[in-house]
Structure 1
Amino acid sequence: MTKKETSPQPEQYGDTTVPAFGYELIRNQLIPELLGKETASILYWAGRKLARLHPLENEEKIAVFFEQAGWGNLELTEKGKSKMVFECHSALIESRIKDNPGSVQFTMEAGFIAEQIQKIHGFIAEAYTEVRTGRAKKVVFLVKWDAQDTVEDLSDSE
Structure 2
Amino acid sequence: MSESNNDIVGYDLIRNDVLQLVLGKEHDQLLYWVGKSLARKYKLEQVEELHTFFQQVYWGELHLSKQKKNEWHFDLSGDWMTKNDERSYQLEAGFLAETLETQFAIATAATFVKKGKTVRFTVHFDHKDTLAV
Q: Same fold (TM over 0.5)?
A: yes
In 2, Cα distance between equivalents of 1:18 and 1:121: 38
> Aligned residue for 2:113?
130
* Runs ≥4 residues deviating over 6 A: none
**1:67-82 maps to which residues of 2 (within 5 A)?**
67-82=55-70
The alpha carbon displacement at 1:42 in A equals 0.2
Structure 1 position 104, deviation (Å): 2.3
1:53-94 deviation per Cα after TM superposition (whole angstroms, max 9, x unaligned): 0111121111111011111110000111111000011113x2
* Structure 1 residues without counterparts, runs of 5 or longer: 1-8, 12-16
Q: List aligned pairs for 1:8-23, cutoff 5 A.
A: 11=4, 18-23=6-11
1:10 positional shift: 5.9
- CA apart distance, 1:99: 3.4
SS at match of 1:91: coil
> What TM-score do you get using the length of structure 1 for normalisation?
0.78
Q: Could you tell me which residue of structure 2 aligns to residue 147 of structure 1?
A: 127
Q: 1: distance between equivalents of 2:3 and 2:65?
A: 27
The equivalent residue for 1:109 is 92
Q: Residue type matched to 1:143 in 2?
A: V
Q: Which runs of 5+ in 2 are unaligned?
A: none
Which of 24, 29, 51 is 2:12 aligned to? 24
Equivalent AA in structure 2 for residue 66 of structure 1: F
Among 44, 48, 52, the alignment partner of 1:64 is 52
Query: How many positions carry a matched residue from both structures?
Result: 133
**SS, match of residue 71 in structure 1:** coil
- The structure whose residues are more often helix, as a share, is 1
Distance in 1 separating the partners of 2:123 and 2:7: 31
For the residue of structure 1 that corresponds to 2:48, the secondary structure is helix
Letter in 1 for 2:118: K
Measure the CA separation in 1 of the matches of 2:12 and 2:3. Answer: 11
**Take 1:31 and 1:75, find their aligned partners in 2: how far apart are those partners?**
26
Percent sequence identity is: 33
Counterpart of 2:84 (choices 79, 99, 104) is: 99
Shift of 1:36: 0.4
